[in-house]
Amino acid sequence: FAPYIQVEYIAVMPRKPTSRGMLQNPPPSTFSRFARSQALIASAYRSKRKINKSKFYKKSRSNFSGNGFENHASDENSEQAESSDEDFDGVVQADFAFFDPKPSDFHGVKILLQTYLDEKQWDVSGFADLILGQTTVGTVIKVEDDEDDGVYSVVTALNLGRYKARNKFCTISLSQPAANHDHKCIEEIKEFLRKSCKEEDIMNNLRSYLGEQAQDVGLLISQRVVNLPPQLLPPMYDALFDEVSWATEDEPTEELRNSFCFKYYLLISRIYKHKSADQQKRQKSDEAIVYVKPEDEIFHKVPTFTEVSHSSASDSFNLHLSSAPGPSVSICALSSLYLMRQEMLKDYQLMGLVMAVEASKVQ
Amino acid sequence: MSGFCVGLQFENSCEIGVFSKLTNAYCLVAIGGSENFYSIFESELADVIPVVKTSIGGTRIIGRLCAGNKNGLLLPHTTTDQELQHLRNSLPDQVVVQRVDERLSALGNCIACNDHVALTHTDLDRETEELIADVLGVEVFRQTIAGNILVGSYCAFSNRGGLVHPHTSIEDLDELSTLLQVPLVAGTVNRGSEVIAAGMTVNDWTAFCGSDTTATELSVIESVFKLREAQPSAIVDEMRKSLIDSYV
């Protein structure tokens, strides 16, 4: 459903939620693109409550047991989240299942990718198609038996050197070889990264990752709704790296097998960096960097990595998440959970974070 | 002068019908999109009808908040005075611009109309219904489409044809077609989206669709809204340019 429908005055919301993913937001109160993209990310959990009046539930946080994969060709792996309360506004049972990406997941995946490159207008649809086309490596998390088929998270690794556009017809000019340029979306991602890189020494590394070494680089895409239970993250990443190693053995052609032998993973993500770099100005309890996604902290700390930090090109970075009600960022250290409120984030600046991590260190 | 534009995006969203309103006499576009968005509208329409940039009630979802045809334009009560004045100034004189005091303020979702007939939400006020008949000069029918009361969202029709929600039954299609006196087809837009009016906007000679619309959906839209030249020879002529008969 178009994300900007005014909710207050429509007499009756359509009873059956649409199949276009779960991220229906209340309209943001500002025109700033940044505020809107934040609202899109941060208010997903609130819209969950509004969506299905017949089942009003909050996300459950209880522990659940994970099953390993039965065999690496299997599609699904259920994670049970138990309910501690059957009551109306208690927690609800939600069975999350891991699926291989399918073309029918297009809309849900596209919504999750909308803010991947900040506010830049780019070929998100083509990118979603690439992800869904790669069924051997990549996982989509959905709720089992969900009538809307909403996509809650997508995780995959795309080889940067693999996706070349193929022209169906011969080029007119015979002097040029048949098209060997990247898919438009991959081109746009590379362009975005090149433009955001400010430091010269990192630029050289980046250029090689995007250029000659592209065959060894995997773009690690991990997008999810803000309130996805953090207990799902370890099995999700385990699944991804398992699939990558299985792909290096199972893919039909040698070319494909080699394409999954990644030397590096490239991640594009977001962090909140404290505005004053000086330690004394900050309160003792304030962290220098707050990670939007907790696994980024782990990737960041992996030794020998390259970091490119970029601020988004758009305006106003003061975190006026007033359009997103409630806690704006949820951070989970994998063993404990705490929520940060908007006031605590007022000293932080949202920045993009791009990391290149050596594959051997994470697998 | 039949035309067809595809590949439209408003800030990475394919929901063209949310950010624009197209009629036979004018076109409204939301402010804040890229220049590319306006330029496509302007290149198709500028010499024929005015393309007006506006907001409604400070928001950009103008396509879903207002309802109009060549005779008039209905705006919700959330429209500010400045916006109302701006629209009155920019639109042709024969278009009556009227602000409606109606609880269901997303008029674009509640009302679907062409120049002769309007379908409305079943719970619309009686005064509003009379106002619609007056200002827009149409006959008003309270209807549902595939069980959905938001008729303005789930169908899009012009004076020549219409596209409705994919789950509309054959009986409903026949009934609606008789009411509207135009051929109707059930289909989707933007790669399977059921919210027809959010994904596209159409008038008698041109249509704009979101960039995710597939070729199949496009051909359905072209045929039901009669956007292509009707003569088969036109199609063959176009194809001939791309066919290679022989190599010398």
Are A116 and A77 a contacting pair, CB within 8 Å? no
Tell me how far apart the alpha carbons of residues A251 and A117 are, in angstroms, rounded to a whole number: 30
pLDDT band at B195 (very low <50, low <70, confident <90, very high): very high
ipTM over 0.90: no
Tell me how far apart the alpha carbons of residues A211 and A90 are, in angstroms, rounded to a whole number: 52
Give the one of A3, A5, A119 whose C-beta lies nearest to B106's C-beta: A5
Q: Do B211 and A124 lie within an 8 Å CB cutoff? A: no
Q: Give the Cα-Cα-Cα angle A290, A320, A112 (nearest 5 degrees).
A: 65
pLDDT digits (tens, 9 = 90+) for A235-276: 888 888 889 888 888 888 888 888 888 888 888 888 777 776
| b/e per residue A213-235 (b: at least 16 CB within 10 A) | bbebbbbbbbbbbbbbbbbbbeb
* Residue A189 CB neighbours (<10 A): 25
Tell me how far apart the alpha carbons of residues B170 and B178 are, in angstroms, rounded to a whole number: 12
What was the pLDDT predicted at A349?
61
In percent, the amount of chain A with pLDDT more than 70 equals 50
* Residue B208 CB neighbours (<10 A): 26
What was the pLDDT predicted at A83?
40
Distance in Å, alpha carbon of A338 to nearest chain B alpha carbon: 33
What was the pLDDT predicted at B128?
94
pTM of the complete model = 0.68
| B-chain residues near A11 (CB < 8 A) | 103-104, 121, 123, 149
pLDDT band at B200 (very low <50, low <70, confident <90, very high): very high
| A-chain residues near B103 (CB < 8 A) | 9, 11
Interface test with A, best of B6, B12, B64 (most A CBs within 10 A): B12
pLDDT digits (tens, 9 = 90+) for B117-159: 999 999 999 999 999 999 999 999 999 999 999 999 999 999 9
Mean of per-residue pLDDT scores for chain B: 89
Beta partners for residue A26, in sequence order: none
State which residue of chain A sits closest to B193, comparing Cα positions: A20
Q: Do A2 and B65 lie within an 8 Å CB cutoff? A: no
pLDDT at A363 over 80: no
Structure tokens at A9: 């005055």
pLDDT at A14 over 60: no
pLDDT at B1 over 50: no
pLDDT digits (tens, 9 = 90+) for A41-81: 555 544 444 443 333 333 333 333 333 333 333 334 444 34
pLDDT band at B183 (very low <50, low <70, confident <90, very high): very high
CA distances from A120 to A209, B16, B224 (A): 22, 18, 35
Structure tokens at B73: 């334009």
CA distances from B48 to A157, B25, B40, B93 (A): 49, 8, 14, 15
Q: Could you tell me which of A131, A107, A127, A108 has the C-alpha nearest to residue A117?
A: A127
Whether residue A7 lies within 8 A of chain B, CB to CB, comes out as no
Q: Do B192 and A107 lie within an 8 Å CB cutoff? A: yes
Tell me how far apart the alpha carbons of residues A347 and A356 are, in angstroms, rounded to a whole number: 27
Q: Could you tell me which of A117, A129, A136, A134 has the C-alpha nearest to residue A189?
A: A117
